[in-house]
Amino acid sequence: MAALSDPLEICVKASVTVPNKLGDCPFTQRVLLTLEEKNLPYDTKLVDLANKPEWFLKINPEGKVPVIKLDEKWIGDSDAITQALDEKFPEPPLATPPEKASAGSKIFSSFIGFLKSKDPNDGTDEALLNELVSFNDYIKENGPLYQWRTNFCGRLVPWPKTLPYGDFIGTL
């Protein structure tokens, strides 16, 4: 693993209601979770997105957060940032191992089929139950699907893209 002499600089959304606090940006939360999981030091710079400072627009003309400085280059977009961090700092690996990536992959489509069904006898409830039982059996046999040093559930990739968890990072 590459060593860091200084903390990584990351620009994040400032709270709109509480001064000097992290805002509710799920993309920022995703990157901060990655930094925490990889145990990398970082220095946050809070950015008021309603009144973007000139220094921020100079490093990121699009004015979006998060933005992180890695190898003297500013990188935007949480996908690009987490990928770059995983490449530069591969331990611990945060990607789902390929042999486990498809486990439970049919649950969502089975659930949608169940929700859209108007016929109580069409078998969509059984299909969903079968997928859930199959996934549960897989977890019992193979252990957890994701590698975490902390004990909370969720997958790093989609979770913060869909649910804003506010000032969660301080609880790690």
| Domain extents in the chain | 8-95+149-171, 98-142
- What pLDDT does residue 30 have? 92
What SS3 state is found at 101? coil
- What pLDDT does residue 20 have? 92
- What pLDDT does residue 144 have? 65
Residue 37: pLDDT above 50? yes
CATH architecture of 8-95+149-171: 3-Layer(aba) Sandwich (3.40)
pLDDT digits (tens, 9 = 90+) for 47-66: 999 999 999 999 999 999 99
Instruction: Find the catalytic residue in 25, 31, 128, 156.
Output: 25
Tell me how crowded residue 113 is: count the other CB atoms within 10 A of its CB: 16
Residue 169: pLDDT above 90? no
- What pLDDT does residue 172 have? 40
Calpha distance 39→149 (Å, rounded): 10
Residue 24: pLDDT above 70? yes
Calpha distance 87→84 (Å, rounded): 5
Active-site residue 25, yes or no? yes
- Going edge to edge, which strands form the sheet with 73-76? 42-47, 8-13, 67-70, 73-76
Calpha distance 30→83 (Å, rounded): 12
In CATH terms, is domain 98-142 a member of 1.20.1050.10? yes
Predicted model pTM: 0.63
pLDDT digits (tens, 9 = 90+) for 101-156: 788 888 999 999 999 999 989 999 999 999 999 988 888 887 765 554 443 444 44
